Structures are given as structure tokens and as C-alpha cells.
Amino acid sequence: MSNKQPLSFKMRIIHRYLGFFLAGVMAMYAISGIILVFRKTSFLKQEVKKEQTIAANLKPEDIGKALKIRDFKVAKTEGNIVSFGEKNTYNSTTGAVVTYKKQYGYVVDKITHLHKATTNDPLYYLNIFFGVGLLFFVVSAFWMYMPGGKILRKGLIFTAAGIILTLIMLFV
């Protein structure tokens, strides 16, 4: 006696357990995605003061290079103190630099780093696996209900509405 289950049954089982398995990752991506919407603001960020010493008597363009700051601009120079940014300073006599930066706390930084991982980071394997998992959810959802059934027809209408809304948001 063969135990051949229909494809829709297998898809439902895989969909269910993959959903349970990825629940934690989905929660982290959802939280980090919401946080990253506000990345240009100071939402959940703390001001961190950093003091360091670089070479003394640098020209303004060399200060930016030494500190690895893109689009470095001097705000004003008073005596031997060069001010840049809002509160950042460079003492040209001693080379002392004081910078203030707004950044996420440890936990929030780790969560957002997960969302932004690139190929230079081992977390990108998780990102790829998660993306493939989400793509599977999209495809397997269409095998959850009987073809030609009322629920599937309504689902396809909602799918079309979601696609149209996405296209409007992307191109308008």
C-alpha cells in the first residue's frame, strides 16, 4: 500500500514547520525593518563621545581622511581648534580629536546588523536562507486551498491587490 500524499498536503506540512522554524527570524527582521525606517532620526540612538589622537597640524582635507569621514567639512576654526559637524573638534597643536556620534545600543545594533548583512559577513547566509524561505511561503500559499475554491479565488484577488499596491508604492 503506497502512502502517496497530494502535493498540496506536502506543501502545507512544509509551510507549517518552516513557518514555526523561521518565526524567531521573522520577528527579528520585522523589528529591525521597523527600526531601520527611522535610521535617519535619533530614534533608539544614544550619543557616544569618542576621544582619539591623530597627527598634529593636518590640513582640513587630511583631517577627514585620517578620521575616515566622507564629505568632511570644517564648520569653523578658532585658533588651533578646528570644529566640524555639530560638536566635533580637532586640536591642530596636539592632534586630539573629540567626536560625538549617535548610534544604536548593543542589542538594537545587533538586530539591525542582521537585517543589513552583506557578503562580507557570515550572516548573509542566514539572509539568503530567510529570503528563500519567504519565497517558498509565497509560492506554497497557493497550494493551501483547493483549486477553483471560493477561498483561493478571494486569495488571488487579494494577491492582485497587494501586487498593484506594491507597484504603485514603487513607481508613483
pLDDT of residue 142: 87
- Whether residue 38 contacts residue 52, with contact meaning beta carbons closer than 8 Å, is answered with no
pLDDT of residue 143: 85
pLDDT of residue 144: 83
Helix (H, G, I), strand (E, B) or coil at 19: helix
pLDDT of residue 44: 95
- Whether residue 137 contacts residue 19, with contact meaning beta carbons closer than 8 Å, is answered with yes
16: left (phi over 0), alpha (psi -120 to 50) or beta: alpha
Residue with C-alpha cell 478571494?
Answer: 154
Q: What are phi and psi of 101, to 5 degrees?
A: -140, 140
Tell me 76's DSSP state: E
pLDDT of residue 76: 93
The model's pLDDT over 22-58, given as tens digits with 9 standing for 90+, comes to: 999 999 999 999 999 999 999 999 999 999 999 999 9
Residues of the chain with pLDDT under 70: 1-2
- Whether residue 35 contacts residue 114, with contact meaning beta carbons closer than 8 Å, is answered with no
- Whether residue 56 contacts residue 96, with contact meaning beta carbons closer than 8 Å, is answered with no
Half-sphere exposure for 35 (CA within 13 Å, toward CB): 21
Smallest CA-to-CA distance from 136 within 19, 29, 23 is with: 19
- Whether residue 28 contacts residue 139, with contact meaning beta carbons closer than 8 Å, is answered with no
pLDDT of residue 75: 93
Helix (H, G, I), strand (E, B) or coil at 93: coil
pLDDT of residue 119: 94
